[in-house]
Amino acid sequence: MQEIELKFQIPQGTLAAVKAELATLTGGQAPAQKLQAAYFDTADRKLAKARAALRVRQEDDDWVQTLKAAGPNAMTRLEDNQASQAFAPGEAIHPDLSLHQPEAVRQALMRDLGWQPERDPKGEHLGLIQLYRTDMQRLRAQASHTNAAPQRAGRVEIALDLGLIAAGDKSVPVHELEIELIDGHAHAVLDVARGLITRHGLWLDSQTKAHRGDQLAREASTGQPSPRPPVRPCTCLPQGATPAHAWVAALDAALTHISDNLSEVALETSDARADLSPWIKAWASGLRRLAWVWRHAPVGLLGPAQAASIADQIAALYVKVRPAAGRYIVSAQAIPLARSAAPTLLALDVLDVIVAAG
């Protein structure tokens, strides 16, 4: 039920090259899969606030209901897929929470939605409504990462999604790449991603389709853009955490602080927004937080070369985002920086440490 994956945005100029590379991999010659999904939440966005998503999706001729909920770190999420009833064209689509039987999933629904399965088995009285939809063509391929140390070997699925997210009369295009672990070690996802970033200029995006769809639904209902406010996530410590576990949790929170704000800057729609300074300042704040956490790594957890390399990356990027005291990079310069390789490669290096320590 755990989904280990990363998502990347693709520059328009390299989309053809990405397609061509996928066609050389196992399964990459198969026809695109048609995916049409309806996403549900309450009117007060309980799922969105919990970084969760509930959808009913037609996958070619099959229907699947999926819950995704927050996981232990930035590249891991709880995911449960269950066969759903089919809906005829024009018929109102609705979810059925009773399909989700694994206890961890039921607990997530109870926590995030306040669901009481004994009183409301299907979740019909929770006020779930369809807020947005997606219409995608998905190209899939598999890659084996075997020419590596055993602890980094694994097999991944690379999925290219092309289509749109729509809410009301609003829509935004999608051209993104997901890399998901099939079997082996999570490091394989990171290593395969590094190669694709180097070859095609991809950038890491922490915003899910559900997050972008929720923003679009808000804009469709109010007539005003609805970006996520700058975020500063708290460190969540597991019960009885050791100093090493506490440090990893702090590292993950600092990375989320950076990547969530960075994703808002890098969005294609950011080009049309005049002032990104709140997210740029939050990005710089996240880098400062990451530098502090990094300096306080438990003794023996990092090798000297690794510690120095990532500290240098953090410092170099911070100077670009905040060139001088009280002065930050302007929006027109921040967007291409956010889409460049440096922030994404830093994020992958930090994730490497989180995965190894976990």
pLDDT at residue 91 is higher than 80: yes
90-101 in b/e burial notation, b at 16+ Cβ within 10 A?
Answer: eeebbbebebbe
| Structural domain count of the chain | 2
**Which token pair is 45?**
């966005």
Confidence of residue 148 (pLDDT cuts 50, 70, 90): confident
What's the CA gap between 242 and 231, in Å, rounded?
Answer: 27
- CATH classification of the domain holding 131: 2.40.320.10
What's the CA gap between 122 and 19, in Å, rounded?
Answer: 41
**Does 292 share its domain with 194?**
no
- At residue 86, the pLDDT reads 97
Q: Is residue 268 part of a domain?
A: yes
Q: Is residue 223 part of a domain?
A: no
CB count, 10 Å around CB of 86?
Answer: 10
pLDDT at residue 1 is higher than 90: no
**Does 299 share its domain with 325?**
yes
Query: What average pLDDT does range 53-69 have in this prediction?
Result: 97
Q: Is residue 254 part of a domain?
A: yes
**Which token pair is 332?**
């027109």
pLDDT in tens, 23-46: 999 999 999 999 999 999 999 999
**Does 198 share its domain with 234?**
no
**Which phi-psi region, left, alpha or beta, contains residue 307 (left: φ > 0; alpha: ψ -120 to 50)?**
alpha
- At residue 275, the pLDDT reads 87
**What residue numbers bound the domain in which 107 lies?**
2-216
Confidence of residue 74 (pLDDT cuts 50, 70, 90): confident
CB count, 10 Å around CB of 203?
Answer: 21
pLDDT in tens, 248-281: 999 999 999 999 999 999 987 766 667 899 999 9
pLDDT at residue 136 is higher than 80: yes
pLDDT in tens, 300-347: 889 999 999 999 999 999 999 999 998 999 999 999 999 999 999 999
pLDDT at residue 206 is higher than 70: yes
What's the CA gap between 354 and 253, in Å, rounded?
Answer: 11
**Which token pair is 174?**
């999608």
**Does 185 share its domain with 248?**
no
Q: By three-state DSSP, how is residue 336 classified?
A: helix
**Does 244 share its domain with 302?**
yes
Q: Is residue 168 part of a domain?
A: yes
Residue in this structure with the two tokens 């009301």, named with its chain if needed: 168
What's the CA gap between 197 and 65, in Å, rounded?
Answer: 32
- At residue 273, the pLDDT reads 65
**Does 73 share its domain with 185?**
yes
**Does 183 share its domain with 85?**
yes
**Does 101 share its domain with 210?**
yes
**Does 267 share its domain with 343?**
yes
- At residue 75, the pLDDT reads 86
- At residue 270, the pLDDT reads 63
- At residue 26, the pLDDT reads 96
**Does 238 share its domain with 320?**
yes
**Does 200 share its domain with 66?**
yes
Last residue of a domain, one of 216, 241, 263: 216
- Which is it for the CA torsion 39, 131, 234, 241, positive or negative? negative
Q: Is residue 222 part of a domain?
A: no
CB count, 10 Å around CB of 155?
Answer: 16
- At residue 70, the pLDDT reads 86
261, 40, 6, 245: CA torsion to nearest 10:
70
- Which is it for the CA torsion 249, 250, 254, 260, positive or negative? positive
Residue in this structure with the two tokens 């409301």, named with its chain if needed: 120
Mean pLDDT of the chain: 94
Query: What average pLDDT does range 204-233 have in this prediction?
Result: 91
Last residue of a domain, one of 170, 192, 216: 216
**Does 24 share its domain with 141?**
yes
Confidence of residue 210 (pLDDT cuts 50, 70, 90): very high
Provide the residue count of the chain. Answer: 358
